[in-house]
Amino acid sequence: MSKNILITGASGEIGTALINSLSDHSIVGLDLSDLHKSSSKKVMNFYKGSLVNKELISNIFSKYKFDEVYHLAALLSSKCEKEPELAHDVNVNSTVNLLTHCKIQGDGIKFFFPSSIAVYGMPDKSVGNINSVLETEFLDPVTIYGCTKLYCEMIGKYYAKVFGVDFRSIRFPGIISALTLPTGGTSDYIPEMFHSAVNNRRYVSFVNESSQLPFMTMPEAVDAIDKLMQAPDDKILSRIYNIRSFSLSALRCKEKILSYFPKANIQFSSNSERQWLVDSWPNDVNDDLAKEEWGWASTYTIDSAIEQYLIPNLKKNYQEN
Ligand SMILES: NC(=O)c1ccc[n+]([C@@H]2O[C@H](COP(=O)([O-])OP(=O)(O)OC[C@H]3O[C@@H](n4cnc5c(N)ncnc54)[C@H](O)[C@@H]3O)[C@@H](O)[C@H]2O)c1
């Protein structure tokens, strides 16, 4: 059955991939930027404008009755640190405004919120379970980005409990897409390494060799969103879930890339403004809750992600463009 869907941040990396997978439905998109060229025919109506424009959001909700909202628009981590007040306005106030419209619409509307491992704040990289952090541990973000994500998770759970908005959220690790390049995110160095290697371009990583985070591919992220949103209500007990596919250091990523692209030129020059963000995040997360409650399972290991998804699709993408 075709559903009415609102996607904010429709022109971003996840939005572009999500529109592709939800294209059987009636999609209304919103973003500050134009849609990716692959999306334009798949979106029923696109609003180019800002999420912080309350009148625009009211107009959209008065025109459509949505079954599902995918609220992807946000300022990402590096941009948030540069403009913390704007970050609060875009990431927090706009989320509360959207949740309020969903509350008014009623009918148990489903609301997807992409959270992040930035909600964690590790005291240092030597603490015991830095390689398997649970959803309930180390919720002490050091960045405004992490603070905004953690607050939105909490307010989302509140709107679920008190007002019946069916809020569901994934704390994403770094996401690697073969189709698009990220901008302004803290985990961007890994996708940037791959895109540069395929294009024979020298790459200088903004974090040091030992920096380690969890990652996954974009198709896995989109499949996970779909699986979580389709899961029966009675399975969704926790509402906020970690997921991950593999964890790797910047050096290990370089070594993997060199084994496929021996001429790749990857250097490291740590930028202190971005390094401390990575250093506050866990090396890896525990995703048992997502496995238990809605059957999350990763598709790829680092090797199969490179061989079966990244290399073929990166090459195809750059040959076509
Ligand atoms: N990509 C990742 O690795 C990752 C990891 C964890 C969480 N997330 C979260 O997933 C969501 C989508 O991320 P993405 O990777 O697609 O990022 P992105 O930057 O590619 O997309 C975000 C989109 O939001 C739009 N946007 C920003 N401010 C806006 C505003 N005021 N009004 C309307 N649109 C606005 C931008 O134009 C952009 O197209 C974000 O909430 C992000 O925090 C992403």
pLDDT along the chain (321 residues), means of 10: 95 96 96 94 97 98 97 93 95 98 94 98 78 95 96 98 98 95 89 95 96 97 98 97 97 96 96 90 97 98 96 89 71
Domain 176-214+246-283+301-320: give its CATH code. Answer: 3.90.25
pLDDT of the residue at 13: 94
State whether the beta carbon of 243 lies less than 6 angstroms from ligand 1: no
Compute the CA torsion angle 191, 194, 200, 204 (nearest 10 deg). Answer: 50
- Upper half-sphere CA count for residue 254 (Cβ side, 13 Å): 18
Atom index in ligand 1 nearest the CA of residue 73 equals 24
State whether the beta carbon of 81 lies less than 6 angstroms from ligand 1: no
Helical spans, DSSP H, in the chain? 13-21, 54-63, 77-82, 84-87, 94-105, 144-163, 189-198, 218-230, 250-260, 272-279, 288-294, 302-304, 311-320
Tell me which residue has its CA closest to atom 18 in ligand 1: 12
- Upper half-sphere CA count for residue 47 (Cβ side, 13 Å): 21
pLDDT of the residue at 128: 62
Atom index in ligand 1 nearest the CA of residue 52 equals 31
pLDDT of the residue at 319: 82
pLDDT of the residue at 158: 98
pLDDT of the residue at 183: 84
Centre of ligand 1 to C-alpha 12, Å, is 6
For the beta sheet containing 246-249, the strands, ordered from the edge strand earlier in sequence to the opposite edge, are 174-176, 212-217, 246-249
Contact in structure between 278 and 211 (CB atoms under 8 Å): yes
Tell me which residue has its CA closest to atom 26 in ligand 1: 73
Q: Indicate where the chain has its CATH 3.90.25 domain(s).
A: 176-214+246-283+301-320
Centre of ligand 1 to C-alpha 259, Å, is 32
Q: Indicate where the chain has its CATH 3.40.50.720 domain(s).
A: 4-173+216-242
CA angle centred on 16, ends 15 and 20, rounded to 5°: 110
DSSP 171: E
Regarding the domain with residue range 4-173+216-242, which homologous superfamily does it belong to in the CATH classification? NAD(P)-binding Rossmann-like Domain (3.40.50.720)
Which of 98, 116, 244 best tests ligand 1's pocket when mutated (most atoms within 8 Å of CB)? 116
